[in-house]
Amino acid sequence: MKTVEKEINGKKIPVMAVESGESANNVEIKDMSPNVGGFSMEDFNRMMALHNQRVNANEVTLSAEITAKEVIKGKERIDKESRLPVLDSEGFPTFYPNRYKITFTFKGGTLTQTVGEEMYQSLEMGATYMLKGALGFVKDFGQEVLSPIWKSWEKVA
């Protein structure tokens, strides 16, 4: 390759002239080999799999303190037609299941969310946990809401 000067808009600018068979931008045919930098095709495939895993990841990790816990008692079930309480086999009124809410406080904000009874019972007020899960849609009072779905939690403080 050789450098020549071309006039563009009245100014002379140095330009690399590419001859037939030469490579441009200092990239030569030997640099395009699959083993450049000592990478084999297996290494390349492994790196691509890792890249795809990161691009398609749905992971949430949050370190948060439990600052509030609340049990919302289930309401009594009422028959829509008769407007009378729905009774169980022993004649006692039936109730909707209790709902459990926890407020997580983390650096930058708070998150109040409905959780399962198992999680509610295992988390202690004032303790800090490392929560891990994924984002997903959950029903909250009949509406689908995008929310973290916690799969594991570990007490860290």
Domain that holds residue 87: 60-155
| Residues 73 and 40 reside in one and the same domain | no
> Is there a contact between 84 and 43 (Cβ–Cβ < 8 Å)?
no
| Residues 104 and 119 reside in one and the same domain | yes
What CATH number is given to the structural domain containing 148? 2.40.50
Cα Dmax for the chain: 99
Q: How far apart are CA 16 and CA 6, in angstroms?
A: 10
Q: How far apart are CA 77 and CA 93, in angstroms?
A: 7
Q: List own/partner pairs for 80-84 with CB under 8 A and 24 or more apart.
A: none
pLDDT tens-place values along the chain, 157 residues long: 677 787 878 888 777 666 665 555 555 555 555 555 667 888 888 888 988 888 888 999 999 999 999 999 999 999 999 999 999 999 899 999 999 999 999 999 999 999 999 999 999 999 999 999 999 998 877 889 899 999 999 999 8
| Residues 32 and 108 reside in one and the same domain | no
| Residues 6 and 65 reside in one and the same domain | no
- DSSP line for 139-157: EETTEEEEEEEEEEEEE--
| Residues 96 and 26 reside in one and the same domain | no
